[in-house]
Amino acid sequence: MKTIGILGGTFNPIHYGHLRMAQELAESLGIDSIRFIPAANPPHKSTYNISASHRAAMVNLAIADNPLFRIDEQELNRAGHSYTIDTLQNLRDELGHDVSIILFMGSDAFTQFDTWHRWQEIITLCHIALVQRPQTSKTEPSRKLSPTLESFLHNHYTETSDDLHTSPAGYITMRQITALDISSTAIRDAFQQGKATRYLMPDSVIDYIQAHQLYL
Ligand code: ATP
Ligand code: MG
């Protein structure tokens, strides 16, 4: 079965944590192509006045030289909130039901997963691949999974990549990746404080931020 990975995020801005996670999951899960899906209007957070088109432009620059990666701008073209469930439904309408879709997620995002719109239906449309993310934020306490999410994880869990290739949706797996303690929050702070951001993200993205005077 053809297998595609998707990575949603605000990408405000995109950085090597996102890119490395996508690359390593593509290799360890045997994925044919990965779509980066910038959120237009994230229900859970502010975008600090950086427009969706700037965030998408930065994603485009960051992925330009990787044939495995592409951008999917469907959430930008949709009015109102962007919910993952709607995005997945659109992908299914586009790709059909004989394609395996794997939603990538960092551990921080998964601890909030049971607050997502119609979250229990999401697993009927895709698999989920989880990666451990270093404890980035100094202000956020480390969060554990709620009992609801613990049992959700348990009920869908597999360690076998084959499961993700022989069915289109329904499994959750976890993979080890190189731990990169990089976050968009820390990058925005660094820009604001006039600190260097080199080696945290592609130079093309840094050049774009400087040219458009973002995060000042
Ligand atoms: P912010 O600090 O603004 O929340 P972020 O760095 O967390 O930004 P997001 O766009 O919120 O980036 O993340 C999108 C997805 O990528 C989430 O599933 C998140 O867990 C994952 N992710 C982001 N950074 C990393 C990283 N360094 N390692 C692993 N996963 C990451
Ligand atoms: Mg985040």
Q: What is the CATH number of the domain that holds 173?
A: 3.40.50.620
- The whole-number pLDDT of residue 78 equals 84
- Does 41 reside within a domain? yes
The closest-lying atom of ligand 1 relative to the alpha carbon of residue 179 is 28
Average pLDDT (201-216) is: 97
Whole-model pTM?
Answer: 0.95
pLDDT-based confidence at residue 136 (cuts at 50, 70, 90): low
- Count of domains observed in the chain: 1
Rounded to the nearest angstrom, the distance between the alpha carbon of 105 and the centre of ligand 1 is 8
Name the token pair of 8: 């949603």
- Does 11 reside within a domain? yes
Sheet holding 69-71, edge to edge: 69-71, 33-38, 2-9, 99-106, 127-131, 172-175
The closest-lying atom of ligand 1 relative to the alpha carbon of residue 105 is 18
Judged by average pLDDT, the poorest of 33-42, 83-92, 107-116 is 33-42
Ligand 1 interacting residues, C-beta cut-off 6 A: 9-12, 17-18, 21, 105-106, 108-109, 131, 133, 180, 182-185
Q: Whose CA is nearest to atom 8 of ligand 1?
A: 184
What are the backbone dihedrals phi and psi of residue 72, each rounded to the nearest 5 degrees, phi first? Answer: -125, 110
Q: Give the residue numbers spanning the domain of 96.
A: 2-182
Q: Residues of the chain with pLDDT > 90: what percent? A: 86
- Which stretches of 96-160 are DSSP H helices? 107-110, 119-122, 147-156
